[in-house]
Amino acid sequence: MGCCFQHSHAIPLFGTVMRVTTLGLGEVCARRVQALAFDAAGRLDALTRRDAVDSALMRLCAGPVGRPTAVPDQLWQLLQLANEIAYRSDGLFDIAAAGSAGRAAWTDIDLSVRGHVRLRKRLLLDVGGLLKGFAADVAVETLKDLGTPAGIVDIGGVIRAFGTQEWRVQYHIDDSAAPLPVPLHDSAVAGGGVSANRLFNPLTGTLHGAAELEDLRVLVRAPSAAMADALSRLALIAPERASTLVPKLGGAAAILTGEGAKPLAYAS
């Protein structure tokens, strides 16, 4: 009977709403593990805030150039994943280029020593392209470590499900489109569209705003929320390349239209 218990709770975080739903736990236990998942994600939020000069991310960007700087392991892992995606996407997803308007690249971030970062030049880092997804993954791992059988984490529309339960979520890209029912089973989904922030394309050196995106809306499924988050931004930055890059990085993408979702098949 306890396996049927489902409990959900939400708090404001990352400038949006974070919701954690657990399945198979009694209410007291569910509230305890949800609180710890929120705490884990909240620590990441504090580490990466760009509006706080004393956050670990901003201290790193303001720190010495050319010398290793010690950083919290959670931040190091985030940067390591960002650089891996940059490498595998041929530099299309690049937190250094995005944060520095093309004056730097992901290769200017040296992560060869765990827990330390050496910046080869003065730069800013824009981790917004995968931050919510990474936080959702952190929350999921916390829940799993605490023995949660199944659950789902949603941070501003970046959603990760785990366990044997299949979830059906009503996915909203923006207010102008009807929600899309999306089944999720031990995977993640993220989307983007005209409401997205301005996106920097490091290959062309251009900054794209809502006008350039027109009515483009994409939905990406991937094994992890961080990857789904990053790939949804990649698909918006360069839709002409996304049909080959997204599957290469382990994801699957679709265009959202008035008639529903269609497979991503942009002309190359």
Strand partners, 261: 256
Q: Is 108 contained in some domain?
A: yes
pLDDT of 1 strictly over 60: no
What mean pLDDT is reported for the chain? 86
Reference 126, options 192, 201, 236; nearest CA is 201
- Strand 252-257: give its sheet, edge to edge: 6-13, 16-23, 150-155, 158-162, 188-192, 218-222, 252-257, 260-263
pLDDT score recorded for residue 2: 43
Report helix, strand or coil for 236. helix
Helix (H) or strand (E) holding 3: none
Domain count, the chain: 1
Q: Which amino acid is residue 214, in one-letter code? A: E
233 band by pLDDT with thresholds 50, 70 and 90? confident
Q: What is the DSSP string of 121-133?
A: S------TTTHHH
The boundaries of the domain holding residue 70 are 51-119
Integer Cα distance of 123 and 109 in angstroms = 10
Q: Is 77 contained in some domain?
A: yes
Provide the Cα torsion 131, 137, 139, 140; round to 10°. 160
Q: Is 71 contained in some domain?
A: yes
Integer Cα distance of 204 and 184 in angstroms = 35
Q: Model's pTM, two decimal places? A: 0.89
CA dihedral for 243, 246, 248, 250, sign (positive or negative): negative
Which one-letter DSSP state was computed for residue 137? H
pLDDT score recorded for residue 94: 93
Provide the Cα torsion 226, 111, 90, 160; round to 10°. -10
- What are the tens digits of pLDDT across the range 87-119? 999 888 999 998 888 899 999 999 999 999 999
- What are the tens digits of pLDDT across the range 184-193? 999 999 987 6
Q: List, in order, residues 6 or more apart from 230 with CB less than 8 Å away.
A: 82, 85, 93, 129, 130, 133
Q: Is 171 contained in some domain?
A: no
Q: Is 103 contained in some domain?
A: yes
Q: Is 114 contained in some domain?
A: yes
What is the Cα 242 distance to its own chain's centre?
A: 17
Q: Is 193 contained in some domain?
A: no
Q: Is 66 contained in some domain?
A: yes
